[in-house]
Amino acid sequence: MSTPKEYSLTPQEEDRLVEAEFRDVLNGYLASNHRKKVEIIERAFRFAKEAHKGIRRRSGEPYILHPIAVAKIASQEIGLGSTSICAALLHDVVEDTDYTVEDIEQQFGKKIAQLVEGLTKISGGIFGDQASAQAENFRKLLLTMSEDIRVVLIKMADRLHNMRTLGSMAPNKQYKIAGETLYIYAPLAHRLGLFLIKTELEDLSFKYEHPAEYERIDRLIKQSEARRTTVYNDFSLPIKERLHAMGLKFDAKARLKSVYSIWRKMQAKQVPFEEVYDLYAMRIIFDCDNAADEKVICWNIYSAITDLYRLHPDRTRDWINIPKANGYQALHLTVMGPDGNWIEVQIRSRRMDEIAEKGFAAHWKYKIGEGDEESELNVWLKTIKDILDDPNPNAIDFLDTLKLNLFASEIVVFTPKGELLTLPNGASVLDLAFALHSELGTHCIAGKVNHKLVPLSHRLKSGDQVEVLTSKSQTPKAEWINNLATAKGKTRLRQALRRERQPLIEKGREIFEAFVAENSIELNNDVMTKILGTFHVGNRDDLFYRLGNEEINIDQYISHGSDKARSSFFTKLFRMPGKRRRSKPVETPEQAEATEVLPPVNMKERYVLRYVDDKPNFELMDCCSPIPGDDVMGYVRPDNHVEVHALTCPRAQVLKASYGPRIVATEWATDNVKFLAGIHIEGIDRHGILQELTALISHSLNFDIRNLNISAHDEVFSCDLSVMVDNRRVVADLCDKVKKINGVKIAERV
């Protein structure tokens, strides 16, 4: 656990530090294009400083430095004005002191008070301690966004400063905060067009989750700087000369990929750092006084570059004519550099660049009139309005559904009349039908794509012209959920199914409520989860539907003959020793069926993964099968059993973001213990290669092979095997040795 920083400043020196930090905020504001409302900012600072007097952050510094830092990010990095600066300075006053929203309104007016109130509503982060509260908290954030986008922009500034100062927190808190940042805040920043903030949030999250990997990649980036600079200079010099000859005023620079994006590429392609060739892109930003000329200049620069270098035909991206949903505009092309590697070039005007870096905040600079700044965001918010209205109680499903919209890259399709529609990548004909109207979706039977008949499951591509075909006799089907890639489509399908099933759901609800009342069952999240697990259903509506449809009979299921057997069943299922239990967060059925309750785990210390009396004090999860050497975390179940997940595991992402208080930092202490690891091998098939593989692994290297599957097709073989190993390093060494066998092209851990 990090030790809080000790401050040895006198009160006078500390006060001078606070005043200097505030002056920095004020000077940045005065240098901006905003109207100069210095007096109200000064008053907000004095008010917040007095309210937080004597309070310190965990790092030891005066608390007021945090609101000042948030105001500075909001002003200088996002580009917000005086109202937002005041709200940032005051954002913790209502939550942490005795002042109320009414006090803020009386002192600073209704608008600032509304922003502070919006920030206070979501002050606990997106997620509460209980899973059942998550969806509602996130709805609050999105609903507040629709009222005033500045709330979420200030919240982004708040989260960014918390991530920058995360080093003073305990390791389990670091995992929780980094996890929810990577799970929701970073993609939300991306969706809002806050590229710089999104990149920094990702890098900081990665730094705290995988510190060794972060340091290694950062070191390799620095070591390769000289070589990169030489290649970039050789590549960019002819382009700069050509653009100067065209009479353009421009800046040209190399934009290096972030540590996190490089690591993601290494993971996705299973390549070492040295084989990630597109470490940087060249960015050209030109001056243009007339927005009408921007498109012509972009294509003139494109033409000049393709005269000099060979173009990659499949990697040109025109986001000038069709901007991304977050407003991003640029022209991207990829050409062959002098060293034989592909290099991406991004062409933007100064206006486009500012919008790309600052997102919706930068749009305000280029809008005319009041209230216009939220128009583009409202287009997006309309696409998720259905999700906000959906009363689905499953918080994890809600977040996953929403993330379909946050993460998805985009395609553009056209209606038969030529109307342009933007959809997430992977969207189907059915997604398009639901995007146009719920009735079209529920009655969709097929589609015509580029005048050819296709099923409703057909996945669309950019540029497709699509016609939706419907029938009045068609009704929505539950299995359609597998054909949908959009949040709107999934939500509207669930609502349609719910309407169809509603009479039976109501009937089942009455049966269930009568049963609960008759047996004096005290319902809470714990009990309800166990009931859902017992009947193998995902949510209450499914349970009620099956009861109403007479697919299950709860009375017959419970009545096992004798009163003693019935009592035993109740005790096991509902854990009702007669004492009132506190409601706990919803667990999966597997987690709810605990066998043995262990002593509580100290969440503030690192949990040491070890064997005690030949038994592990942890449980490795099959979803990611971690082994010693992997970056892992522990999730403490209600029975105090510790699940171990790799930090890269999708399930771990959900747990960190959803059950933060139950995440514990871990360290391995498992000497002389073997673990099962999976390895995938591919290569050119030849006689005897399997014999060479098994001889190397089991005889030369002395590994125990537990499972082996090999197949060959068209002279290419594929092999999956499981071996017993000590740690991650051993697996890497094994893969390196297997790659040296003649014909083997790929050997990697899975």
Active site residues: 95-96
d(CA 232, CA 224): 12
DSSP 427-440: -BHHHHHHHH-HHH
Q: Where are the beta strands (DSSP E) in 341-458?
A: 342-349, 410-414, 420-424, 444-449, 452-455
The Cα angle at residue 397 between residues 394 and 402, in degrees rounded to 5: 125
Task: Return all residues near 382 (Cβ < 8 A) that are at least 6 apart.
Answer: none
Could you give the CA distance from residue 181 to residue 394 in angstroms, rounded to a whole number? 21
3-state secondary structure of 41: helix
Phi and psi (nearest 5°) for 231? -65, -45
Pick the closest to residue 537 from 394, 654, 405 (CA basis): 394
Tokens representing 346 are: 């991004």
The percent of the chain in helix, strand and coil, each rounded to the nearest 5, is 50, 15, 30
Cβ burial, residue 562 (10 Å; 0-12/13-18/19+): exposed
- Helix (H), strand (E) at residue 21: helix 11-30
Long-range contacts of 62-66 (CB under 8 A, 24+ apart): 62/14, 62/18, 63/92, 63/96, 64/18, 65/17, 65/18, 65/21, 66/92, 66/161, 66/165
CB atoms within 10 A of CB 92: 23
Q: Which residue has the tokens 């019935």?
A: 566
SS3 category, 333: strand
Calculate the dihedral angle through the C-alpha atoms of 511, 515, 518, 519, rounding to the nearest 10 degrees: 180
Nearest to 9 by CA among 56, 67, 70, 69: 56
Per DSSP, 625 falls in state -
Token look-up 């005051």 returns 90
Strand order in the sheet with 675-684: 704-713, 716-725, 675-684, 744-749
**Are the CB atoms for 176 and 209 separated by under 8 Å?**
no
Structure tokens at 385: 């309005």
Q: Are 85 and 71 in contact (CB under 8 A)?
A: yes
DSSP H/E element including 522: none
Helix/strand/coil for 707: strand
Answer yes or no: are the C-beta atoms of 288 and 294 closer than 8 Å: yes
What totals of helices (H) and strands (E) does the chain contain, helices first? 31, 21
Q: Are 122 and 140 in contact (CB under 8 A)?
A: yes
Assess contact for 661 and 729: CB atoms under 8 A: no
The partner residues of 744 in beta bridges, in order of sequence, read 683
Residue 119: how many other CB atoms lie within 10 Å: 24
DSSP state of 428: B
| HSE-CB for 566 with a 13 A CA cutoff | 11
Instruction: Enter the tokens of residue 162.
Output: 């918390």
What sign results for the dihedral spanned by CA atoms 381, 383, 385, 389? negative
Token pair 């940045």: residue: 28
**473: three-class secondary structure by DSSP:** coil
Nearest to 172 by CA among 646, 667, 606: 606
Compute the distance between CA of residue 137 and CA of residue 122 in angstroms, rounded to an integer: 7
